[in-house]
């Protein structure tokens, strides 16, 4: 074994050239991952906020429900905007 070289350890060094190009093309961008995470968080808030208010042991206020729904809609909107601006 020779000396360690970063050039030989790119992560795709052992793959044929066509496979390494295909894998590199399939990598997701940061903006795509952020937009997907924001959309998923927004969807979860919209689905589970009413359930939280309905099944909470203590009395939850309308303000809590409205705030959670507003944040869920904001997350969905931001996720869509990030995805739109990425393209």
pLDDT digits (tens, 9 = 90+) for 50-71: 888 888 777 778 888 899 899 9
Q: If pLDDT is split at 50, 70 and 90, which confidence band does 9 have? A: low
DSSP letters, 38-71, are: HHHHHHHHHHHHHHHHHH-SSPPPHHHHHHHHHH
Q: What is the mean pLDDT of the chain?
A: 79
Which pLDDT score, from 0 to 100, does residue 54 have? 82
What's the rounded mean pLDDT across residues 24-30?
71
pTM to 2 decimal places: 0.64
């Amino acid at each position: 074994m020779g000396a360690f070289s970063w050039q030989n350890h790119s992560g795709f060094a052992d793959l044929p050239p066509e496979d390494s190009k295909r894998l590199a093309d399939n990598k997701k961008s940061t903006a795509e991952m952020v937009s997907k995470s924001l959309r998923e968080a927004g969807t979860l808030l919209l689905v589970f906020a009413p359930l939280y208010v309905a099944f909470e042991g203590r009395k939850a206020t309308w303000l809590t429900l409205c705030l959670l729904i507003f944040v869920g809609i904001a997350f969905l909107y931001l996720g869509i905007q990030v995805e739109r601006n990425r393209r």
